[in-house]
Amino acid sequence: MFIQDTTPDTSAYMVAGYAIFFVLLILYLISFLIRTRNLNRDLTTLENMKVQSQVATGDSSEFKPAGNTRHAVKRKAARPKGNKSNQVKKKVIKKK
Amino acid sequence: MQAKSKTLKILDIVSVLLLAVAVYLALVYAPEELQMGQVQRVFYFHVATAWTALLGFVAAGATGIIYLVSKDSKWDIIEVSAVEISLVFFFITIVLGSIWARPIWNTWWTWDPRLTTAAVTELIYVAYFMLRQGIEDPDRRARFGAVYTIVGSISAPITFFAIRLFRTIHPVVIGNSDPGSLGAFDMTSKMLVAFMFALFTFSVIFVDLFWNRIRMGKLASRVEQLKLSNMQ
């Protein structure tokens, strides 16, 4: 009575196991991609804000955005107006 | 975010290919176990994910020590990455184990020493993220996180050795099972190939995800720095 003579059919559990494994793995990868996308968006927004605040305050220290991101603002925009004239003045002083 | 390096891109592709081969070996190549039937095939991924997850928890503890010594924030990023991926892998382990247990033990869950220590380990690392969420200061958060992972990493070897130290119904794959264990089996050479390949595959997948997660951690760190500087 207690001796098992046939292999039980447990294939449904096996299918469920592998299905759940792939679902969990894909969910994690999707969350990973969404978080990365959101962070890239945050980075772009924050760098724009930083550049705008520097332009508004006339801060001459150049802001360097991170390497390979899709930034809407170019570095040139970060430079305050009148930079060139300041450089010319310095050269004139040196010559004197 | 910096562009992915060529090595990482190759590793992404290799991981997907290895996973496909591991699935083939587990589902097709390895023979059916006669007493348990097809559900035994869950074992290959169950053990492989558990192994990498527990190693990841121990690695997180080690990086916690390195962070406390060096105070370099990159070790904090590495620590969080290790814990996150290990947490996902260990959750998969528990779910797969539960699915296997239903036809073999006739229950989804039982408070066996192995299952209990596994659940405690998982909850410890869920709490780790709750702790980190509650601390705003990055340095303080990293310091608390480092201490927490060092203490938490003790749970990983306890979970691993639980089936060897305590009386349990959980089978031991490598070594002698407790006489009261249910679901133990002897591996054939083909089963061993599928098992070893799954271990290798999940180690590679872990490294790949770990690398990608570290890159995301660096990006998150940069965003946080900008947020703090904008607030000032």
The answer to whether the CB of B89 falls within 8 A of the CB of B202 is yes
Tokens of A13: 């559990």
Residue B156 predicted with pLDDT over 70: yes
- Find where tokens 């001459």 sit: A60
Short-list B196, B209, B216, CA closest to B14: B209
CA–CA dist B160, B82 (Å, integer): 18
B169 vs B174, residue with greater confidence:
B169
The predicted model gives A78-88 an average pLDDT of: 48
CB-count exposure of residue B2 (10 Å: 0-12, 13-18, 19+): exposed
- Is the minimum CB–CB distance between B31 and chain A shorter than 8 Å? no
**What pLDDT was estimated at residue B182?**
74
* pLDDT confidence band for A69 (50 / 70 / 90): very low
Q: Could you tell me which residues come within 8 angstroms of residue B28 by beta carbon, excluding any fewer than 6 positions away?
A: none
Residue A79 predicted with pLDDT over 50: no
The answer to whether the CB of B60 falls within 8 A of the CB of B95 is no
Mean pLDDT of chain B: 92
Q: How many alpha carbons fall within 13 Å on the CB side of residue B227?
A: 13
Calculate how close chain A gets to B150, using CA atoms only, in Å: 25
CA–CA dist A5, B52 (Å, integer): 37
Q: Which of A10, A24, A36 sits opposite B91 (nearest CB)?
A: A24
The answer to whether the CB of B146 falls within 8 A of the CB of B83 is no
Q: Which of A4, A8, A39 sits opposite B219 (nearest CB)?
A: A39
Quick check: A32 and B36 CB within 8 A? no
Residues 75-114 of chain B with CB under 8 A from chain A are: 88, 91-92, 95-96, 99-100, 102-103
Does B1 reside within a domain?
A: no
Segments forming the whole domain that contains residue B13:
6-29+39-231
Which of chain B's residues have a Cβ under 8 Å away from the Cβ of A53?
230
The predicted model gives B132-145 an average pLDDT of: 94
Does B130 reside within a domain?
A: yes
| One-letter identity of residue B174 | I
Domain ranges, ordered by start, for chain A = 11-95
**What pLDDT was estimated at residue B1?**
66
The answer to whether the CB of B171 falls within 8 A of the CB of B183 is yes
Residue of B nearest to A71 (CA): B1
CA–CA dist B121, B131 (Å, integer): 15
Residues 196-225 of chain B with CB under 8 A from chain A are: 212-213, 216, 219-220, 222-223
Rank A9-18, A48-57, A78-87 by mean pLDDT and report only the highest: A9-18
B175 vs B150, residue with greater confidence:
B150
Number of domain units in chain B: 1
Angle at A63 between CA A58 and CA A67, to 5 degrees: 160
The string of pLDDT tens digits covering residues B206-227 is 999 999 999 999 999 999 988 8
Short-list B141, B101, B104, CA closest to B118: B101
Which of chain A's residues have a Cβ under 8 Å away from the Cβ of B2?
66-68
> Lowest-confidence range among A37-51, A63-77, B113-127, B157-171?
A63-77
* DSSP per-residue letters across B7-62: HHHHHHHHHHHHHHHHHHIIIIISPPBTTTBGGGGHHHHHHHHHHHHHHHHHHHHH
Which of chain B's residues have a Cβ under 8 Å away from the Cβ of A35?
216
Radius of gyration of chain B (CA): 20
Residue of B nearest to A66 (CA): B1
Quick check: A32 and B226 CB within 8 A? no
Calculate how close chain B gets to A11, using CA atoms only, in Å: 5
Calculate how close chain B gets to A78, using CA atoms only, in Å: 15
The answer to whether the CB of B37 falls within 8 A of the CB of A7 is yes
The predicted model gives B117-123 an average pLDDT of: 95
Counting residues of chain A whose pLDDT is more than 70, the rounded percentage is 56
The answer to whether the CB of B35 falls within 8 A of the CB of A7 is yes
Quick check: B38 and A43 CB within 8 A? no
Which of chain A's residues have a Cβ under 8 Å away from the Cβ of B16?
none
Residue B71 predicted with pLDDT over 60: yes
Does B152 reside within a domain?
A: yes
The predicted model gives B28-36 an average pLDDT of: 91
Calculate how close chain A gets to B216, using CA atoms only, in Å: 6
CA–CA dist B146, B63 (Å, integer): 8
Using CA atoms of B181, B187, B193, B195 in order, give the dihedral in degrees to the nearest 10: -10
Residue A48 predicted with pLDDT over 80: yes
Residue of B nearest to A40 (CA): B1
Q: Which of A7, A18, A25 sits opposite B37 (nearest CB)?
A: A7
